[in-house]
Amino acid sequence: MPEMGYDASLTPTDYQTAAPAALGNFIAQGLIDFGLRDGSNEQEDYANLHYQPTNPPLILHLPGNPDIVNYNRWQPLTFLRFIGQAGNFLGTTPEFLGPEWGEVPAFSLGDAHRTTYEREGYQYQIYHDPGAPPFLDTTAMGGLSEEYKWGFALVSAV
């Protein structure tokens, strides 16, 4: 701000009686306040409030997956070290990112674009829901449905 000739020490938000900068401060404070109550949980570093994984973490440096509970639900992965996209060490077992972001009001999407689901007493929103992926069908011959095998093969091919 000082490089552009503005006084960064001006902090009033009463734009009716203070300097013109107060209007900008008023608008900025409104956006900050909205962001603190928009459902993203910014105050707690965007931590999940309701979602808990069904499956225990898969420990990647050990063979097998003996503790999995539900093959059709997400499973956390435990690394020896997990480095995030910014190059920071983030522990060993990263959290599921974004399972509750449907609670944040979407820009230019309305109720017609949203589907509400409930799981374990928690209602969650999905915008432009593409539907469920193919699930592992343990009743099918060989334990795999054709749709599941096709999707699995696509993941391994990429």
- So what's the pLDDT on residue 147? 83
> In the structure, what pLDDT confidence band is assigned to residue 28 with cuts at 50, 70 and 90?
very high
- So what's the pLDDT on residue 23? 92
Res 19 pLDDT > 90: no
- Cα(92)–Cα(127) distance, rounded to whole angstroms? 31
Res 68 pLDDT > 80: yes
**What's the token pair of residue 35?**
């962001």
- So what's the pLDDT on residue 141? 66
Model confidence pLDDT, tens digit, residues 96-110: 988 888 889 888 998
Ramachandran region, residue 38 (left: φ > 0; alpha: ψ -120 to 50; beta: rest):
alpha
Domain ranges of the chain: 1-35, 52-95
The larger pLDDT score, comparing residue 138 to residue 116, is at 116
